[in-house]
Amino acid sequence: MKFFLDFIRSRVITLVCIIIAAAIFAVVLSLYNLPSEPVLYALLLSLAAVTAIGAVTFIKAYRKHNILTRLANEITVSADNLPKAISADDKDYGRLIRTLSDYCISLKEKSANSLQATNEYYTMWVHQIKTPISAMRLMLQSEDSESNRRLSDELMKIEQYVDMALCYVRLESSGNDLVIKHYSLDDIVKKSVRKFSTQFIGKKLSLDYKELDTDVLTDEKWLSFIIEQLLSNAIKYTPDGGQIDIKLMKTQHDSVIINISDNGIGIPQEDIAHLFERFYRVEKSRNQDAGGTGLGLAIAKELVEAHGGSIKIDSVLGQGTSVTIELPVACRIKIEKKELK
């Protein structure tokens, strides 16, 4: 109805002209005393012709309106599907829309190029930083002492923050650096555990590891990042002499379960629902010295869901925390490009 009223308003001049013509016709008829029957017949035929022309014009305008409305609702502006221009106004509107479309395409290309350049810069920056970190770790390993172990732990924290920054940039770009292959889940988990060996030894933590001989189709670096984030949190918030359990299980639904639990300080129930929010940090009952960015679990959740899986946290304050990840054996990676805002 709204479009019909708009259509009538846009044709007001035409309707006024038709009414004036009919009025002139009636005046001429009365002045010259013409026979009313043939004149009325001609008038009805003219009215029918005008109605038919008006109906055809309305149908064309309505179709054009639907096409333009559909185009307006699309995220990507495209001028390829514009209706064929009939009037001069249509051609002007068409040129305007094509100009806007070309500008939007150009703007998106510039944004994509800028984002790609930023991604490449941070990737190079991360690798440049990790090179001296690795060299310093080798130097510290040459002499086993308490001070060297502490320095090695601090270097590992720095490396974790650097890796997290790189993962954050990759997620915010396009996820186009994925390398999907078959990997042994057991090998990925053991490699992550070995990375934290000095922390396990330094805090005298016990590890109960239940392995599983199965392969998963995944990107090794992403899955390693997820496991390392969970292990890092478990070690960080488990007191000296505590216990960390890692269980790998296979379900009947062609998926695998990765469960990492600890008997650490636990998490308040009111905070659990917010743990996967970016930059959210639990400060009240957690160790202030442990630090953290509030990004690790948020990125891990995005990666798990990108693998087509799910992640869940259960915790009891003062008793410990359990994190359960379920992943399909044949992971379907689906990290999507994000629009710049």
Residues 277, 279: Cα–Cα separation, whole Å: 6
* pLDDT score of 337: 39
Under the phi-then-psi rule, with left for phi > 0, alpha for psi from -120 to 50, and beta for the rest, what region is 254?
A: left
* CA geometry: angle 111, 112, 115, nearest 5 deg: 85
Tell me which of 222 and 53 has the higher pLDDT. Answer: 222
* pLDDT score of 93: 66
Q: How far is CA 310 from the centre of its chain?
A: 16
Confidence tier at 208 by pLDDT (50, 70, 90): very high
Residues listed for the chain: 341
**Pair 209, 246: CB distance under 8 Å:** yes
Mean pLDDT of 142-154: 76
Domain with CATH 3.30.565.10 in the chain: 179-335
- C-alpha distance from residue 2 to each of 55, 61, 93 (Å): 16, 13, 21
Q: Give 188-239 as a DSSP string.
A: HHHHHHHHTHHHHHHTT-EEEEE----EEEEEHHHHHHHHHHHHHHHHHTS-
Looking only at the bridges linking them, the beta strands covering 255-262 and 243-250 are antiparallel
The pair phi, psi for residue 34, each rounded to 5°, is -75, 150
Q: Which of 28-32, 103-107, 171-175, 334-338 has the highest mean pLDDT?
A: 103-107
Beta strands in 23-113 (DSSP E): none
Write the single-letter amino acid at 183.
Answer: Y
CATH topology of domain 179-335: Heat Shock Protein 90 (3.30.565)
Tell me which of 95 and 184 has the higher pLDDT. Answer: 184
Q: How far is CA 33 from the centre of its chain?
A: 78
CB atoms within 10 A of CB 275: 21
Extract the tokens encoding 138: 């080798």
Under the phi-then-psi rule, with left for phi > 0, alpha for psi from -120 to 50, and beta for the rest, what region is 288?
A: alpha
- 319, pLDDT greater than 90: yes
* pLDDT score of 89: 57
Q: Is 87 exposed, middle or buried (0-12, 13-18, 19+ CB in 10 A)?
A: exposed
Long-range contacts of 171-177 (CB under 8 A, 24+ apart): 171/299, 171/302, 171/303, 171/335, 172/338, 173/115, 173/116, 173/118, 173/119, 173/337, 173/338, 174/115, 174/335, 174/337, 174/338, 175/306, 175/333, 175/335, 175/336, 175/337
Residues 132, 322: Cα–Cα separation, whole Å: 35
Lowest mean pLDDT among 40-44, 140-144, 271-275: 40-44
Residues 215, 241: Cα–Cα separation, whole Å: 33
Mean pLDDT of 205-224: 88
What pTM was estimated for this model as a whole? 0.58
Write the single-letter amino acid at 14.
Answer: T
- 225, pLDDT greater than 80: yes
* CA geometry: angle 289, 292, 294, nearest 5 deg: 145
